[in-house]
Amino acid sequence: MMTGTKFRKTCISIVAFALVMTMLTACAGITLPATYSESETVEDMFANDPNISRQTKAVIRVGCFRGEDYYYWNDELKSMGAQLLHSRLITGYQARNYETMEDTWEALVSSVGMASRGRLEFVEDAFYTLDQMSDKDIDAMLSRDDLDLMLTFGTASGKVMTGNADKIAYDFMVYGATNTVNSGIVKSETERYSDNAFAQVDTEETRRTMQAAYDLFRFQNVGVVYEDNEDAYIYSGIDVLDEMAETYGFTVHRVFVDESSGPEDDERFYSELKAAYASLLPKIDTMIITTSTIEDDKIPELIEDFIDAGIVTITQESEDECRMGALMFLMVASAEEDGMFMANTIGDYCQGTPISELPMVYVSQPKLFLNYETIRRTGVRIPMKAYMIADTIYTKEDMQ
C-alpha cells in the first residue's frame, strides 16, 4: 500500500514529467504525434503540419541546366555557393575561384544542406548543357522525377523550360537570361506562364546600357555583328537598339555571323568575324561588341582598325574586353550580386515560400569601365563626369 508521502512524490514526478514534455514540445514548435514510431521519417512527422507548404520537403534535390559554357554563369554559381555558405544553408562548400562551372557544381555536390526544412542537396548527375544535348537527352532531363528544383542559366535554356513547363514535375528558376519578359520566359515582372516557374527579371537592363552609351557619344551610325536568330537578337540587345534608333534617328548597320560551335570551329568563326568587322568599318562611328564567344585576347586584333579610325568601341560582354582595348563597358548586371540574389531566393524557397510567390525583380548597381589608352588614341572626348563616376579606368599598362 502506498503511503501519503510516496503518493505525493509520485504525483509530483508525473506533473514534472508532463511539464518538461510540454516545454520541449513548445520549444520545438511542433505537436508530437500521438503514435509516432522510430521508423517514421522526418517528412512523415511533418506531413500534416499546416505551417508547411506543399513545396517544402525535408530534402530539396537541385539540378543545373545551362545553355552553354559561359564564364558569367559560373561566376553567378560561385557567388551563390558562397552566399549559401555564409547564410548557413550549406556547409562543407569550399568558396574558391573555380575555373569551370563543372568544378563549381562538383564542389556544391560535396556540400551538406543545413536547413531543418528544405535541406539542399545538389545532385551530381543533374548537370546539363543545352548545346551538348540531343532531343532525347532533353526529354530525359525534363521527365526526371527525382529532382525538386532546376537552376537554369541563359535565354535558350530558359525558353526550353518554359515551353515544357507542363511536362516537368519539378520547379525551375531561370538566371543569367537577357530580358526574360521579351524572350518569353515569363509574362511580366510578376506573372509566370506556369506555377512551377521563376525567373530573375530586369526589363530595363539593356536599355540602361544603350541609353548611357547614346547619352555619352550621340552616335549616328552603329555597327553590330551577331548570330541571325531570335535569341541572339534579344540577348545582344538589338531589339532595344532598333527601338532607340526609331526614337533618336540613328542607323543600325548589322552583319550576321554564326557563333563558334567549339574549338574546331574557332578558325572559321574568327575569320568571318574579322571580315564582318572590316565590312562595317567605313559605315559607322560606333561599334558595339555584342555578347558572343569572343575570347578576350582576340579583342585587340579585332578592333585595332576601329581605334585607328577614331571609332568608339563599346563592349556588352565584360570588363576584360574593355581592359584589352574596347573603349567602354557598362556593367548593369553583376555576377556577384546576381549570385547573392540567387542564394537569398533559394533560401526563401527552402523556408517554404511557393515558387510562384517569390519576387522576381532584381536590379544591380551599374558600374562603368573605361580604357584611357583607347580614348587617347581615338581622340574621342569624354565628359569629365564620366571619368569621375567610372569604377575602373584602364591604362596602357593594364593592356599588357
pLDDT band at 230 (very low <50, low <70, confident <90, very high): confident
Task: Give the sign of the dihedral formed by CA 339, CA 343, CA 344, CA 346.
Answer: positive
The CATH 3.40.50.2300 domain(s) of the chain lie at 59-202+335-357, 205-332+366-399
How high is the pLDDT of residue 203? Answer: 65
Which superfamily is assigned to 205-332+366-399 in CATH? Response regulator (3.40.50.2300)
pLDDT of residue 81: 96
Read off the pLDDT of each residue in 195-213 and give the average, rounded to a whole number: 84
What is the average per-residue pLDDT within 262-288?
A: 92
Give percent above pLDDT 90 in the chain. Answer: 55
**CA 392 vs CA 287, 329, 369, 375: distances in Å:** 21, 10, 5, 14
- On the question of pLDDT at 52 being above 80, the answer is no
Write the CB contacts of 160 (distance below 8 Å, at least 6 apart in sequence): 65, 130, 138
Identify the pLDDT of residue 54.
39
pLDDT at position 57 is 65
- Looking at residue 366, its pLDDT comes to 76
Alpha helix (H) ranges present in the chain?
4-28, 42-45, 71-86, 101-109, 135-142, 155-163, 205-217, 230-235, 238-248, 266-280, 299-308, 319-323, 335-350, 372-378, 384-389
Of the ranges 50-64, 106-120, 367-381, which is most confident? Answer: 367-381
Q: Which positions ≥6 away from 346 have C-beta within 8 Å?
A: 80, 84, 89, 120, 149, 173
Q: How far apart are the C-alpha atoms of 246 and 216, rounded to whole Å?
A: 18
Cell of residue 86, nine digits: 555564409
How much is the pLDDT for 8? 41
pLDDT at 180: 86
pLDDT at 352 over 50: yes
Arithmetic mean of pLDDT, 289-311? 88
Q: What is the mean pLDDT of the chain?
A: 83
* pLDDT at residue 250 greater than cutoff 70: yes
Q: Give pLDDT, residue 93.
A: 92
Highest mean pLDDT among 44-53, 109-118, 216-225: 216-225
pLDDT at 333 over 60: yes
φ, ψ (nearest 5 deg) of residue 150: -115, 115
C-alpha cell at 223: 555597327
Q: How confident is the model at residue 28 (pLDDT cuts 50, 70, 90)?
A: very low
* 245 vs 19 pLDDT, higher one: 245
Q: How far is Cα 258 from Cα 269, in angstroms, rounded to an integer?
A: 7
CATH 3.40.50.2300 for the 59-202+335-357 domain, yes or no: yes
pLDDT at 76: 94
The yes-or-no verdict on residue 292 having pLDDT over 80 is no
The pLDDT score that the predictor gives to residue 210 is: 86
Whether pLDDT at 19 is above 70 = no
Q: What percent of the chain has pLDDT over 70?
A: 84
Q: Residues near 38 by Cβ (< 8 Å), separated by ≥ 6?
A: none
- Asked if the model's pLDDT at residue 35 lies above 60, the reply is no
Mean pLDDT for 209-229 is 91
Half-sphere exposure of 366 (CA within 13 A, CB side): 20
For range 290-318, the mean pLDDT: 88
pLDDT of residue 116: 62
Residue written as grid cell 527525382: 146
**Residue 389: what pLDDT?**
86
Cβ(328)–Cβ(315) under 8 Å? yes
Task: Please indicate whether residue 371 or residue 362 has the higher confidence score (pLDDT).
Answer: 371
